[in-house]
């Protein structure tokens, strides 16, 4: 069993995923959590990261830090998405190894899998064919992180494990329409359209792609599961095992936000990968399973959004 006073460094502890991990560990009685804001520690700076890890001497590192965004951001900033993510994760992984840290949890994304891989996505499909072009820069960076952790397991026998979540959403999500993912972007669009006399909402693509979504608190529970257990393999998918069309997602969010206007689909915009459903049998077999279904999670997220809506009004659509 992991001791409650184990020193755990959560990289990216102020982000949506990192903050959920911090809340979950605190609720479980962990008392020795550490983090560093981007103002105090630039994870892209190798020397700064090495000095921080050497000074703080954590027992465990959880890497929830990344430069993230949707299709628009990935298309517009490919160099930043591949380079900054590689800098962040490589600095953390190598510094942890050099400092003798035995346990490292690396968080990635389902976009590491090939665009047209068989569904549902098994861990074995990694590197079997071409990636989705609209997010390959981010995907390639994350693949290198997975492989670095696998190499450390193989060469040094340390408990470095990679968790690949499906599409995450929840409290503290990014609602900036220029950089956000599909679910929070839809939520903001529907809310603001409702406030504007239920104006029509235009959404990207055809609405036909299938996507799977996981509430961020469930992801945090999966991280705690990996923390408190020694997982026998190097790579695990984290998800619900259930997907729906983007059109169905839009209709669900529209209902929860109370928007009653028209939905317009702009088919001139890209759809992205046709389907991304995770095979989560490996984690299920070990004993982890999600608890929050999609509609409940969207309601929880919208409740949080309404409490913080004034924070987003300064960011124009």
What tokens appear for 18 in the block?
């990192």
Q: At what angle do helices 16-27 and 216-228 cross, to 10 degrees?
A: 60
Q: Say how far apart CA 70 and CA 270 lie, in whole Å.
A: 12
Contact 110, 165 (CB under 8 A): yes
Q: Say how far apart CA 212 and CA 175 lie, in whole Å.
A: 19
What tokens appear for 187 in the block?
């939520």
Catalytic residue among 9, 30, 113, 138: 138
- For residue 100, count CB atoms less than 10 angstroms from its CB and return exposed for 0-12, middle for 13-18, buried for 19 or more: exposed
Q: Say how far apart CA 302 and CA 237 lie, in whole Å.
A: 26
Q: Say how far apart CA 19 and CA 166 lie, in whole Å.
A: 18
Q: At what angle do helices 182-195 and 294-307 cross, to 10 degrees?
A: 60
Which residues does the annotation place in the binding site for NADP(+)? Answer: 12-18, 107-110, 142, 165-168, 181
Q: Say how far apart CA 240 and CA 4 lie, in whole Å.
A: 28
Which residues does the annotation place in the binding site for substrate? Answer: 189, 204, 211, 271
- The vertex-128 CA angle with 122 and 129, nearest 5°, equals 115
Contact 305, 175 (CB under 8 A): yes
Is 138 designated active site? Answer: yes
Q: Which residues are catalytic?
A: 138
């Amino acid at each position: 069993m992991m001791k409650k006073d184990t020193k755990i460094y959560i990289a990216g502890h102020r982000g949506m995923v990192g903050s959920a991990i911090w809340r979950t560990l605190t609720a479980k009685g962990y008392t020795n959590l550490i983090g560093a804001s981007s103002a105090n520690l630039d994870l892209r700076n190798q020397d700064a990261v090495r000095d921080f890890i050497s000074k703080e001497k954590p027992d465990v590192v959880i890497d929830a830090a990344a430069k993230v965004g949707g299709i628009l951001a990935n298309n517009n900033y490919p160099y930043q998405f591949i380079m900054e993510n590689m800098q962040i994760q490589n600095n953390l992984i190598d510094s942890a190894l050099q400092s003798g840290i035995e346990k490292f949890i690396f968080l990635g994304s389902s976009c590491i899998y090939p665009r047209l891989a068989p569904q549902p996505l098994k861990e074995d499909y990694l590197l079997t064919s071409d990636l989705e072009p609209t997010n390959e820069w981010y995907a390639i960076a994350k693949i290198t992180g997975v492989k670095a952790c696998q190499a450390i397991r193989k060469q040094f026998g340390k408990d470095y494990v990679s968790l690949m979540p499906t599409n995450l959403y929840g409290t503290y999500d990014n609602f900036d329409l220029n950089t956000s993912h599909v679910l929070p972007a839809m939520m903001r669009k529907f809310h603001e359209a409702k406030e504007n006399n239920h104006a029509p909402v235009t959404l990207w693509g055809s609405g036909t792609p299938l996507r799977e979504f996981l509430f961020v608190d469930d992801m945090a529970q999966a991280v705690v599961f990996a923390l408190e257990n020694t997982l026998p393999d190097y790579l695990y998918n984290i998800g619900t095992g259930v997907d729906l069309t983007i059109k169905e997602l839009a209709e669900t969010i529209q209902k929860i936000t109370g928007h009653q206007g028209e939905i317009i689909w702009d088919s001139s915009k890209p759809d992205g990968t046709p389907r991304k459903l995770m095979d989560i049998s490996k984690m299920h077999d070990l004993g982890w399973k999600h608890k929050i279904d999609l509609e409940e999670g969207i309601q929880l997220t919208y409740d949080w959004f309404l409490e913080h809506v004034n924070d987003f009004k300064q960011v124009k659509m």
